[in-house]
Structures are given as C-alpha cells and as structure tokens.
Amino acid sequence: MAPETSTIMNDVLILSPSGKVMKISLVVSLIIHLSLLLGIQLAFPVNWFPKPLRTYHVELIRPPIDPLNDEETSNADLANVKPDEDKSPEKVEDTISLDTKDKRYVSYAKVIKERLMRYWEYPRAAKENLIEGKVFVLFTLNRQGQLKDVKILSSSSYEILEKETLRTIRTASPFPPFPGSVTVKRLNIKANFSYRLTSRR
C-alpha cells in the first residue's frame, strides 16, 4: 500500500496553488478599496471628527423705563400741546446787500454782481461833463430770478446816473433762479452804484 501524500511537513502548512491566488486576490482587493476610499476622500472631503459648534449668548441691556400711568395719560389734554417754539416760521422775503457775508446768499449775490457788471457802463455824457456820484438802489427778485420792483434809496442828484443805474438792472434781468440755499419767495437786494472818474497823471 502506497503511503499518502502529506500536506503538513515539519508542522508547516503548505498551501496549494489555488490558496496563493486567493491570498493575492485579497491583498489586491484591499489595496484597490483603500485607494478608492482615499480618492473619494480627496474629491469629496468628509470631516470625520467635526468640531463642536460655538454658541454665543447675546443680551441686550437698556435702561429701565418708568411705566406710564394710565390716569395721567387719560387726563392729558392734547389740545394744549404746544408746537416747538424753536422752529421759526419760514420767511417770505429777505433783504441782503451784494457784499453780504451770509453763507446762504454769498454765492447768489456774487452771480448777481457779475451779471450787473456785465451791463453797467459809465454814461458818455457824464464822462464828458465830469459828473460823479453814487446811486443806492433796492431791487426785488422772485424765485425765478425775475425783477419785480426797483427803487432808488439814495440819489446822486444827477438824473443821468440814476437812469444808467435803472437801465443796468433792467437790462441784466431776468437773473438766474434762486439756488437751494435761498429759501425765501422774494429777495430784496441793496446795491450801490458808484460813478467815479479816475484822474490820469
């Protein structure tokens, strides 16, 4: 009788070729699965150990308010409530000079002065007759810059100078409309026309 082939030699297990293939397949499968898992983690990171969310407690502090007494509020006479006395009623008109320092009117007064200077001339007849003098006038403009009135406040006692002054104002009008800083409906402007001949040396 032939002796049987032993699969154990010196207490060492010898695997058949089919066992080696199975072991290699298992290792390769493990490597593939690990590489796939790492690839997914890189493509779609998953936070395995999330940090705990921080919570904050906010408390609004305001000063205590005295509760209203219902009896006091019911007895209050709303008809006796007075409007703010600090608020002054809107002015309908105002009077300025061309040399005003009032910030509301400075820029507009400058425009008016430049426009008057454009049309103002020394009358030839007054030059030839050596006539000099000052004419002090007051003229009124509405919000659109139209001339509403003009008065001579102080005469030079020379009609030729007064006529030139009035002609200058009427020719220069209408003036530009009031800017936003001028809130009145009418603006009275004082202007001093000084006619002086300079002597030549």
- Give the model's pLDDT for residue 5: 44
10-residue mean pLDDT profile of the chain (201 residues): values are 46 59 87 85 69 64 61 55 54 91 93 94 92 94 95 91 95 94 93 84 42
Characterize 162-178 residue by residue with b for buried, 16 or more Cβ atoms within 10 angstroms of its Cβ, and e for exposed. Answer: bebbbebbeebbebeeb
- Give the model's pLDDT for residue 10: 47
- Give the model's pLDDT for residue 6: 45
Alpha helices in 7-156 (DSSP H): 17-43, 70-75, 106-119, 124-128
For the entire predicted model, the pTM comes to: 0.54
CATH of domain 93-195: 3.30.2420.10
Q: Spell out the domain ranges in the chain.
A: 93-195
